[in-house]
Chain A
């Protein structure tokens, strides 16, 4: 008897220790189930294919928009590229305006909102499903997206609200209301409300849950598996301290470290490419071949195209409207100059950084090919390509970089956490702007939004990648649906601004200061 009590006493802690992870795991599972079931309908609506095809209408929507803007503004992304660089360098900035937000600062802040997990994890997802060919479509989408970004950011500055105390609020909801009213068009207010609702969802999704989710995946990849809600609570606490507690120091440190991390990431990728210089030709061969044949990839060429376009849009947010919020506070007499500067964003984000990620994954041989046919092997569900060790998402990128430098996984883990964090801070701001547009500015309403935002950090870290990425995509693309409608109606205004500016630039009325 005594012995059995002792045995029970001994086994109790053991039993507890054994059940604790199981309980924690089930918290994650329950969050995941609840989340997947409550958002499924929204995801299905956004990603429903054209009848009789597997082509989602939303991808066509984005591609058509980017093409329309590219043609309407006469390949503005190539024509204005040198002038954009000149603006960022400050060649055209009036020295008397020193102390105001510079073009460089606006670009850097907007970039730290977009350069994030989309560039590291999103690209891995694209290449993992769509094969190397997805890279081609991603780059093309990045180049065309520059025209969408140009359009929305010009409008963002032109129709921003300047309040009496000097602070500025801008974004699609403002050009929808003011721009539509100016052109005598109906429905501006309706679009603005709809956009704001989707922007809030996007802030919770791609700007928050996806980030928390992949940050957790990265950390547990380095330190070993543990329940996601723990990462979620820690992240939520830090985000809370910054956005509610006004702890600017953390945000400021992040803003300084993030660009450094971005440069380091590209540098590491370049070194790996240099080490495998003999394979670069082969890698581009795979990219081009895959882009047009989709050899051995789930969904073939269309599958590669869909993945490429989806992940590019998710990464650089062109046409989504978020950048219009970020850029609208800059000091400039010419709204169009901010449009020029913003077109560099998809270039840096997608054409440079995303392409680096894709090339490193391809070149380091993470995607398993059939040695005889050279086709990529699909996993059991035939939905993704088999990878070394079965990695996907951020783990795939991490494995690719670590195959060259084993220590890089730690650097990448840190980069992922910082990128995730800075993206969350940016999106909390975008979401808040949409929130205050709907509910008015005021401390209590703002606090409500911020608290909900932190709760979603925990949900995002606990849920599985599948449902999170689906919802994140759906919410962000829903923003693009509304935003692009507005851009079509307002693009003649941008054209007018563009023509007037170009004429004055040519005549020498607008000239360099330095």
Chain B
């Protein structure tokens, strides 16, 4: 059994709680932490000609912003804290992409934050945490 934990991470409050939980778990188990951030993206959405022209440039900007503002600071502070950590930055459907990250890294545990959707909206549109709880190939911990 591999000793890797995947953490689904974004800039929400819930993600910060999940991070704290994941760090304590990783330390206790001596596990390696994989922090994954997914930029929501569908190849089947519709764009205007101008958006298409600018897309490549925007993508570079989005990746840089996510790396600089979100992932790099966390990686640095965890490394200083002595935790073995790596980061993954991907585009795609959030739940599906996190599952891909789990499979590829061979992790044995997924930790995610629960974002505060109302019961109605999550029933209508589904929630990321809900679909991961159902579809993830490893045990999932959802942190409120």
Contacts and interface: CB of A to CB of B under 8 A. Distances in A.
Interface of A: 90, 93, 95, 98-102, 104-106, 108-109, 112-113, 165-169, 248, 251-252, 255-256, 259, 326, 329-331, 425-426, 429-430
Nearest to A99: B91
A98 B60 contact: no
B144 interface: no
A329 B91 contact: no
B136 interface: no
A109 B56 contact: no
Nearest to B62: A99
Contacts of B126: none
Q: Which of A93, A98, A252, A255 has the most CB of B within 10 A?
A: A98
A169 B47 contact: no
3 nearest interchain CB pairs? A166-B57, A99-B91, A102-B43
16 contacts: A90-B43, A95-B92, A98-B43, A99-B62, A101-B52, A104-B43, A105-B44, A106-B52, A108-B47, A109-B48, A112-B46, A167-B54, A169-B53, A326-B49, A326-B52, A329-B55
Chain A contact surface mostly: helix
Nearest to A255: B46
B46 A256 contact: yes
Interface of B: 39, 41, 43-57, 59-60, 62-63, 90-92, 100
Given A102-B44, A105-B43, A109-B46, A166 B52 contact: no
A93 B46 contact: no
Contact of B52 (A90, A105, A248): A105
B55 A98 contact: no
Contacts of B52: 101, 105-106, 109, 326, 329-330
B54 A99 contact: no
A100 B49 contact: no
A248 B91 CA distance: 23
Contacts of A252: 46, 48
A158 to B, nearest CB: 16
A255 B43 contact: no
